[in-house]
Amino acid sequence: MKTLFATCEISRMFRFALSAAIIAMLALACASPVAAQKDKKKKSDTQQPADSTNPLVPMSDENQIDYMISEMLGAWQVGDIEKLHKDYADDVTVVNGAYAPPVVGWTNYLAIYQQQRTRMQRVRMDRSNTMIKVAGNVAWACYQWDFEAVTDGTPNTAQGQTTLVMEKRNNHWIIVHNHTSMVPPSNPGAATGAGAQPPAH
């Protein structure tokens, strides 16, 4: 009888140990994916967001510059100063279509841009016929543009050309010189005086 009791006790202990082992294995099996997901989340949280200067697919200098010009014009149209500054050097020089001295430095350009931009709504700038040339860490681009906006409540349009000189600094192309000129309208009544002159872009 003692032997039978001892055997039952051993069997019960064995079942208990086996159940405990199974529960422990299940807990570990469930914890591993959770831990892996937490590690994966930590890794993805620490990864930096994608940057156009280090794309997943390498771009040629010409393509990087073309992208940068599009980004700059987009920021210029919507008034995104932070994005606009990302593409302009602090020591930029800017020549616009008005008969005025060159503007030297980002801060001076920004003051003029903001002053003119506050007068405009529904701004649209289309770029065409872009030519880009790269020579080492220096490049230049020329393009034509069509401008539309409502300035001081009056709709106006303008056309012109821009030449940008860029320099590659810290592996990022930035504008160091901007020369923008407006083409006189073929129909003198087509543009509306000073309101038709967009700030250099």
What average pLDDT values come out for the chain (201 residues) when binned by 10 residues?
Answer: 50 47 42 46 50 67 96 92 95 89 95 89 93 97 94 91 96 96 72 51 65
**pTM for the model:** 0.66
**Residue 25: predicted pLDDT:** 43
**Residue 60: predicted pLDDT:** 93
* Domain 61-196 coded CATH 3.10.450.50: yes
- Contact by Cβ (8 Å): 162, 80: no
Backbone angles phi, psi at 186, to 5 degrees: -70, -30
Q: Which are the contacts of 153, defined by CB distance < 8 A and separation ≥ 6?
A: none
Q: Where are the alpha helices (DSSP H) in 47-167?
A: 61-78, 81-86, 106-117
> How is residue 83 written in tokens?
């994005």
Rounded Cα gap, residues 131 and 169, in angstroms: 21
- Contact by Cβ (8 Å): 162, 178: yes
Sequence spans of domains, the chain: 1-32, 61-196
117-120 — which CB contacts under 8 Å span 24+ positions? 117/79, 117/199, 119/151, 119/152, 119/195, 120/149, 120/150, 120/151, 120/198
The closest alpha carbon to 135, from 84, 163, 170, 173, belongs to 173
> How is residue 17 written in tokens?
């140990």
> How is residue 170 written in tokens?
């810290």
CA distances from 33 to 23, 42, 47, 70, 76 (A): 16, 14, 21, 43, 47
